[in-house]
Structure 1
């Protein structure tokens, strides 16, 4: 039986060319990029070539690209890097109640260490209001952290508007978790008003264990790791050369194909939603207006049914989806994101996430919808009262 993988927001299959590049680099360029001999120098040049490539693709300067191990490290470095330098007079952070666990968990950790955190509540479409950000800013605010695209619902946040209002407040830094947006949502680093932007390679068909943090020129971060002083003393540790070069290659392929991909993904989204309208047991949690939504994520609830039951029955029919985000999928608690959106416990508990990829075509969506409908029909007698 053919398997249909609809969990691209958790992780994507790498480009075949990226797999070949990573394998070649592991075999031929294994020297330490910081070593002084020729092999090390050659490896170091490849790292810097990849940095220049990433910067060029994003409209950034090479010195604004900090290589990390992925989204979680990038988010931690951005948030702790700012608040670690802010000092006692600026110990306030503004974020949202719907951030990825690597941001939400970092905020909770900092709260336990004395940082004051304001969590903004979204509307029922999963979007926060820029006016709420402005109202939350205080004299001791050091950082605003708002994601670009939500990892559960795909709701797009108004980061351009937030960036614009923060331009008049230069002491308040703006961090954006862009992990779910890179390669799917246009982003203009130079004009965005964003100071820090996080990304992870395996979300745009690159290798796992590689990511980057864009850091506005002139902004100094308190490092998370002490060590050899790599990445201009911002991120110590031996460079993951195969991952870094593979990420740069995947980023180029993702950005070059983004206009076509966006168009096709929105067509697939429309097709799925038209099918879902004919399955009354399912409720849409993602924004209904696609102008407010990422093209590749659709979040659905079957109120009264545990999501893992629906997930495993779909899996028996060759369809792979997820519950909540991959980092929270083993939790039996209601979705923190859907709860914050005010959708109620039944919807927050019974949600699944469908996320598309480059390999999907219209026929795949039809098969997904058919198997969703048949699975729901089988489960309906088991609904909780």
Structure 2
């Protein structure tokens, strides 16, 4: 059984460990009785990432902005990571990659830039987007939002976007989430972008790819959008790392001002060791992309089959009719209070969530599930289970057995 993950004292300190899921898992000590199925909230750093961060903290002592040799060493390390991130995301120009603290900062940067430059800007956005998109809009420019329609799986209707775009008097900015953080449903990004630009060629399109990068190929989207954001901790990188990839022809303004680091786009002394760790996580996923995602899809399939076989019609998969990323399963347990179920599962050793980690503490039904047409009660009865490469087939089977047992007990 997989358990809450802690670094093993016995693990190798080599940074060249195999990228196979089994090797990753064996590098951790597992606490008995705990199965971690909340990878969409965060993933633990890989052993190679921990080693790289530790080594960088010990050996790269210079400020990248300094002219001396230590500064040059730090700059070289950062530029190497820029190459790795560009390859993972699927963009041809590493210089379009800017390092930030994560997806939330990146998303806020894009929104803030347009709010400050264009008082008449209109944002096209669906109610299924992440809170790091929705909350800035509601706080800074609620009167400039044009809401897009979604279907029962939470997919944006390209025709809705095509209809809304020409109605805007000023600049148009479309904010899209590549894969939904709660359901894993993949948006038809290229189709939406094409529909918008068929009526507004000048529209700016931003892609929040936090749950997509490393789980599906995003290089096909890069030519359809103007900017892409993602977070390192979703792919077993360090917390507080991420990137905003910006098309060379865009004119976004920096969100954080100061010394002009990151080529003037993001001021502040770079988190060199964190960026190095992000690069290792990116490189590991590049090397094992097909294997990693095949592994997670196998676990998700086995898990969903086991749960639905045990519970029958009393459980349904939210978004099952749509394409989803390999690791995510959002299950609706009929007539069960989700918070109660979550507490029982936690006590039984299965860690899951009731939605996005950024809002899971709120006593409100999921905005995403409500937009998909679920009732308040159905949304409250739904939980998200998300796998990582560190999970095993045994985790999937044992977790399904525990869930079925707890649900049957609660409904007796």
State TM-score, norm by structure 1.
0.93
Please show how residues 1-385 of structure 1 align to structure 2 within 5 Å: 1-57=32-88, 58-85=90-117, 87-88=118-119, 90-112=120-142, 115-137=143-165, 138-168=168-198, 169-188=200-219, 192-278=223-309, 279-280=311-312, 282-289=314-321, 292-381=323-412
- Larger mean CA deviation between 318-327 and 159-168 belongs to 159-168
8 Å CA contact 2:339–2:380 kept in 1: the answer is no
Offset from partner CA, 1:350-376 (integer Å, 9 cap, x none): 221100111223222111111001100
Offset from partner CA, 1:42-72 (integer Å, 9 cap, x none): 2122112221232244233122101100010
8 Å CA contact 1:163–1:192 kept in 2: the answer is no
Paired with 1:241 and 1:309, the residues of 2 have a C-alpha distance of: 42
8 Å CA contact 1:68–1:235 kept in 2: the answer is yes
Paired with 2:105 and 2:317, the residues of 1 have a C-alpha distance of: 29
8 Å CA contact 1:156–1:292 kept in 2: the answer is yes
Q: Name structure 2 gaps, 5 residues minimum.
A: 1-31
Moved over 4 A (4+): none
Shift in CA distance, 343/190, structure 1 to aligned 2, threshold 3 Å: closer
8 Å CA contact 2:40–2:211 kept in 1: the answer is yes
Shift in CA distance, 190/341, structure 1 to aligned 2, threshold 3 Å: closer
8 Å CA contact 1:6–1:355 kept in 2: the answer is yes
Paired with 2:137 and 2:64, the residues of 1 have a C-alpha distance of: 34
Q: CA RMSD in A?
A: 1.7
Paired with 2:360 and 2:259, the residues of 1 have a C-alpha distance of: 36
Paired with 1:5 and 1:276, the residues of 2 have a C-alpha distance of: 17
Shift of residue 2 of structure 1? 2.6
Paired with 1:266 and 1:73, the residues of 2 have a C-alpha distance of: 30
8 Å CA contact 1:282–1:300 kept in 2: the answer is no
Shift of residue 111 of structure 1? 2.0
Tell me the matched-pair count.
376
Shift of residue 191 of structure 1? 5.5
- Does the residue aligned with 1:277 lie in a helix, a strand or coil? helix
Shift of residue 282 of structure 1? 4.3
Shift of residue 339 of structure 1? 0.8
Shift of residue 284 of structure 1? 2.8
8 Å CA contact 1:51–1:65 kept in 2: the answer is yes
State TM-score, norm by structure 2.
0.87
Paired with 2:380 and 2:228, the residues of 1 have a C-alpha distance of: 31
- Does the residue aligned with 1:67 lie in a helix, a strand or coil? strand
Shift of residue 285 of structure 1? 4.2
Shift of residue 235 of structure 1? 0.9
Paired with 1:92 and 1:285, the residues of 2 have a C-alpha distance of: 34
Paired with 1:82 and 1:256, the residues of 2 have a C-alpha distance of: 37
- Does the residue aligned with 2:358 lie in a helix, a strand or coil? helix
Offset from partner CA, 1:168-191 (integer Å, 9 cap, x none): 433210001000011101111575
8 Å CA contact 1:314–1:320 kept in 2: the answer is yes
Shift of residue 165 of structure 1? 3.0
Q: Name structure 1 gaps, 5 residues minimum.
A: none
Paired with 1:239 and 1:14, the residues of 2 have a C-alpha distance of: 20
Offset from partner CA, 1:98-157 (integer Å, 9 cap, x none): 111101111112224xx5101223211111111111111034242000100000011110
Shift in CA distance, 191/74, structure 1 to aligned 2, threshold 3 Å: closer
Paired with 2:351 and 2:326, the residues of 1 have a C-alpha distance of: 18
